[in-house]
Structure 1
């Protein structure tokens, strides 16, 4: 037979005292997490934890005493030395000549052949071990017996593989299924003696107790064929991109061998909406309102904004989920919703209402700061709304969070100078995106982008884990740059924002010029007054 995919030269030596050495050596049929009475034709049952394969290599009955054990891979070379204790006594009736070395295997004298050699030093050499070499070996030198050694020849299994839906999966494959489906994976291991131990790991957790295993003895080949089945009922989107692996352990393998598979869970869109200024803040004519829509879906889908009307609705200009309404007026008043086209169908979020007050006054609504809803059609009426107020109560780290904190909430600078606005953006998981929202007459900026006098720098790592440093530089500050600058951070399905007030004073050279002009004017006025005075008598 050809060499298996791992090296047949691997030699594992396990030396330990055996409580009951066996005269009749048999393979222990097991799969690590095995069923009681595993044999061909036995139905699958619940797994029962057993010891490791190395601890369960032999079973049988025999004479008492201590026997050294040696485990080798089939095909490997085996060397055994004949070392006889000095106090060993000659066995009565032995007819060995002085200095003669004889070897025995399970009570039968060993004869040399093309595969078995006995050196003049007494060393026994098996050029390549075969299955029937398993058993108890010992030697006699000049009729005096040496210690017994138990040899076990293992047969390595072939490369394991996964099967799904009757088809063999490639190593490191990606399995695609929909949220809510049930999947059953089969881990197949052909060959091996003893039977390998098969365990399962899903998303970093041991799920072997949920699996079933069967090991069938192949009499003709002298090996086991093993199959372990794992069923995951109603897979959720939390398992998207998770790894599932069956792990093979066998005495012939130096390390456990995993067979990995990555899950690709497809799920419909889930919406998160955010507004600046925050929900409940009155919107007055001439101000700016920004809406952000984040769509969590697989396959991914792009969001768009729709303003509802009696005729159904019309799309409004938006970019990357942002809807920016500058200098709002009465025409901007109405219901808005976020929509997306997904392979599963057309989906839309809960509608939000923007009310524009002409007198600058209005009652603060009770709309939460963050809205979340999963819709199954384009008609949101009657759909439940799950409010998630980011600022209410302590953060739940398991749900994720984002926090944006300005380095200076208020910045004072002179016109014509260069100034920098900065903030710290933190979150669990780490923030994915940052957006700068300048005053109404200027467009939004993302890190790494520059527009005119504005440059949003690339994000840099903060001092704390999960934190980023965001900065925006304004070259040649102008009076029109004064006002509120909003920085928004998003991560996962969470978002947060903060406001930085930029105050612009007169430029230094303008102040100096004004002072000089005033000084010149006062001097001229003084000279004029002196010239108008009557001459002194």
Structure 2
């Protein structure tokens, strides 16, 4: 047994200088009065050996602990392993992901799967290992801290090892103007155009006018400052940026400068579009004004999303959209009256087509709604939402505080995948409750996140009982409420949109 072990006369075992090899099951054997060997109940001895440290690996390569960053490209697949080579009993490993300072604020506390992170414990003989996996790294993960927590019964507080995610993503552009969009620009006014570029690594914005150098010098911070703007400054402006992943460009913005004597002119004149494109960007809630070319007769129609049909929206050559919403984005055309020949009509339709692009923070409809469900019956909650730039995260938070991403399901709730609506940048999300019970009554939240902000909508689910249900009949109800008969009527409405010949 060795010099470290001593058994006294009554069967007590003493072990000096306990070692890790002493860990395991111990059992006492003795002879009874008749010479038979009897065994005592096995005793499990656990020798505590706390882990000293852990380390991170990518592709079986140990990361340098002195380098706090992991460079990774947007949309890439990332797997980080946390490994501990010691500890008895085996330590427990888990992951935390804390979004950086550039992430959106006021987000609820979310589990790892909502942050696009899953973890897998890997069994090994000595120590422990846990792999964190991101199937798709998002730009929202830039500057996020990925931390492995090492817990052990012999530790007062967990050890940790962490790394920062340095996400490399392509440029996105935000163009602003002073005075703001919707205000007519006249000769002699001071005007400033600003281009903001969000990318990693950072990329410098460079202005172009009609694919050439702008008429005024650009400031280092992305401003084009016109001290006294002139008519010849009109044209298509766009912002480009050179990035390690390539050359990128914003959509075009048409700057229209009117003569000083003009008292009221549309800000966007289709007749002056250059060959570089026919697209105008307007911020959510902003205004845009379109006009048919001078010397032509025509009026405005909108190309209906999904059907491609033209819907007349006025008998004027000028069209102004105020408080623009996402559903008003799309293609608009200045259409000639039927008195002009077919060839000219077709030419004007092609030449006078303008695409209105709406950008801004996400919106949700409905934002707040109360709905009554029938006990024991299924319930469908539907949210329509729009976002441009596109959404980066969509989730449902059920009454029980469980979070569902599109495609998630359990025995009682199914979150359907996101579907597109006929409107550009607009989508639909559905949460399906298979059988409503009293436990399902309460608030259900729907959250959409994009690089431009956060939107939240909610349903409050009430519950009632169908007529004849024994648990709440008129005879047993303490409220003496009349018998409730629920009738669900499904109305299918078929709309036929016919564009008549436009006579302005």
| Short-chain TM bin | 0.3 to 0.5
Larger radius of gyration: 1
Give TM-score scaled by structure 2 length. 0.45
